[in-house]
Structure 1
Amino acid sequence: MKETMTAILMYMQKHVSDEITIEDIAVHFGYSKYHFSREFKKFTGFSAADYLSSIKIEQAKQDFLKKQRSITDSSFDAGFSSLGTFSTMFAKKTGLSPREYKNQVESLYDLAKNYDDTTSTSYYAEKIQEEDSYQLSVTIHYPKSYQTSITFVGLFNSSIPNHKPVVGTALQKKVQHTFTHVPKGKYYLLACSIEKTFNPLRYFVLDDCLRGKADYPLQFPKDSSKEIDIYLREALPEDPPILINLPKLLSDTFKFRNP
């Protein structure tokens, strides 16, 4: 399946508006549903169902933000059978209802821009525990001539960033950060960077932002005190969407300020 994974991801994106199921996709590529689901997660780090629901939400979000369409029409066009199902899943992955998300774009953009003008670093940890917590140093490498606004880096439970990180940081004018409250477990190190812009939607529709990740899942305590380099690149067609609401995470859940 590894050789056809890009084709599978592109096929799912192409048919995102259809009421397509994981079984339909498996059959199309000549697999049983069980084998397809198992191998899909093995090669991508996230489940096929999670990926399918995430790209549906991303399409709906782009519709009602970029095209100014109604939330209801956007949800049905993205393949959701009911507005209630869409709203519940949207809130689970972004932290806001679709209407709240749409209404808070300007205020959250102002917060992100104000943060962009500072030299501080925000640091978030899901749970603070002094015992059984570990460290990880990360260095971000940018393409030449790239002007970053904010770069978000985090350790996630899945390689698809549609949930809050276990630990995370928002870097402004810095390229290196050391996480100090990493709990025991297996995580995916992911990063994305938003270029300097006057367009508020660039902070919320992240399909064209630079992104990068560690080459392999990190296991703690095994990988404690390691130094990891992340090289940011342009998004590829097969990349999963970034659904997490980064400005809201910056606003609501970053608990620490590091000078």
Structure 2
Amino acid sequence: MKETMTTILMYMKKHVSDEVTIKEVAAHFSYSKYHFSREFKKFTGFSAADYLSSIKIEQAKQDFLKKQRSITDSSFDAGFSSLGTFSTTFAKKTGLSPREYKNQVESLYHLTKNYDDNTMSTSYYAEKIQEEDTYQLSVTIHYPKSYQSSITFVGLFNSSISNHKPIVGTALRKKIRHTFTHIPKGEYYLLACSIEKTLSPLRYFVLDDCLRGKADRPLQFPKDSTKEIDVYLREPLPQDPPILINLPKLLSETFKLRNP
């Protein structure tokens, strides 16, 4: 399957509005659903079902944010059979309902811009963990020449598709290196994306064309503790999974934790 994975991902994106199922995708490429799902997860680091629902959410989000279409029309055009299913899936992956997401773009944008205007950095932790049970990791971000970053988000995730909150994360401003601490035992994917300098609020919410990068393999802790990892940011590829995490909201939650 490795040789056709790009083709499979592109096929799923092309037919996302057709309410295509995983079983139908597998059959199109002459696989059983079980074998297809197993091999898909093995090569991508995320499940086929998770990928399919994520690209549906991304399409709908772009429709109602960039094209100013109604949330209902956007959800049906993205292949959801009901508004309720869409809203539940959307909230699970972004942390907000579609209407809350749309209504909070302006306020979250200003919070992010305020952060952008200073040199501080901040870190996010999914949960409080006993100090003796945690590990650390140093990450250096490499940017293409002449690229001007506004904010670069880096985090350790449970899967290689960033449609959920990271275990630990950071927002880098005028820094290229960060040391994560309080990493719990487990296997995680190191993912990064960078937003260039912009005056457009939507640039922080629709991340399909932002630079991205990742570690070349899953990281295991404590095995990989204290290691130095280099992440090279690049332009997105057509087969890349969407970045659905609401980065400004995550930044807002981090500020609340630091300033209760």
Q: Alpha-carbon deviation of 1:194? A: 0.1
Aligned counterpart, 1:155:
156
Q: Any gaps of 5 or more consecutive residues in structure 1?
A: none
Q: Alpha-carbon deviation of 1:256? A: 5.0
Report the secondary structure of 2:17's partner residue: coil
What is the alpha-carbon distance in structure 1 between the residues aligned to residue 80 and residue 89 of structure 2? Answer: 10
Report the secondary structure of 2:35's partner residue: helix
What is the alpha-carbon distance in structure 1 between the residues aligned to residue 145 and residue 207 of structure 2? Answer: 20
Contact 1:123–1:256 at 8 Å: present in 2 too?
A: no
Contact 2:121–2:172 at 8 Å: present in 1 too?
A: yes
What is the alpha-carbon distance in structure 1 between the residues aligned to residue 81 and residue 46 of structure 2? Answer: 23
Q: Alpha-carbon deviation of 1:128? A: 2.4
- Are 1:103 and 2:103 an aligned pair? yes
Report the secondary structure of 2:153's partner residue: strand
CA deviations on 1:46-70 (whole Å, 9 max, x unpaired) are 0000000000000000000000000
- Are 1:235 and 2:236 an aligned pair? yes
CA deviations on 1:66-109 (whole Å, 9 max, x unpaired) are 00000000000000000000000000000000000000101111
Report the secondary structure of 1:224's partner residue: coil
**What amino acid is aligned across from residue 216 of structure 1 in structure 2?**
R
What is the alpha-carbon distance in structure 2 between the residues aligned to residue 223 and residue 24 of structure 1? Answer: 39
**What amino acid is aligned across from residue 104 of structure 2 in structure 1?**
Q
1:1-259 map, 5 Å: 1-129=1-129, 130-253=131-254, 255=257
What is the alpha-carbon distance in structure 2 between the residues aligned to residue 209 and residue 43 of structure 1? Answer: 23
Contact 2:155–2:190 at 8 Å: present in 1 too?
A: yes
What is the alpha-carbon distance in structure 1 between the residues aligned to residue 132 and residue 16 of structure 2? Answer: 44
Q: Aligned Cα RMSD in Å?
A: 0.9
What is the alpha-carbon distance in structure 2 between the residues aligned to residue 64 and residue 128 of structure 1? Answer: 36
What is the alpha-carbon distance in structure 2 between the residues aligned to residue 256 and residue 143 of structure 1? Answer: 32
TM-score w.r.t. the length of structure 1 is 0.98
Contact 2:212–2:235 at 8 Å: present in 1 too?
A: yes
What is the alpha-carbon distance in structure 1 between the residues aligned to residue 154 and residue 258 of structure 2? Answer: 15
TM-score w.r.t. the length of structure 2 is 0.98
Q: Any gaps of 5 or more consecutive residues in structure 2?
A: none
Report the secondary structure of 2:20's partner residue: coil
Contact 1:91–1:97 at 8 Å: present in 2 too?
A: yes
Contact 2:122–2:254 at 8 Å: present in 1 too?
A: no
What is the alpha-carbon distance in structure 2 between the residues aligned to residue 242 and residue 187 of structure 1? Answer: 16
Report the secondary structure of 1:60's partner residue: helix
Percent identical among aligned pairs is 84
Contact 2:123–2:254 at 8 Å: present in 1 too?
A: no
Alignment: residue pair count: 257
Contact 1:151–1:194 at 8 Å: present in 2 too?
A: yes
What is the alpha-carbon distance in structure 1 between the residues aligned to residue 179 and residue 247 of structure 2? Answer: 20
**What amino acid is aligned across from residue 37 of structure 1 in structure 2?**
S
Report the secondary structure of 1:192's partner residue: strand
Q: Alpha-carbon deviation of 1:127? A: 1.6
Structure 1's consecutive aligned runs of 4 or more residues displaced over 4 angstroms after TM superposition are none
Q: Which has the higher helix share?
A: 2
CA deviations on 1:206-242 (whole Å, 9 max, x unpaired) are 0000000000000000000000000000000000000
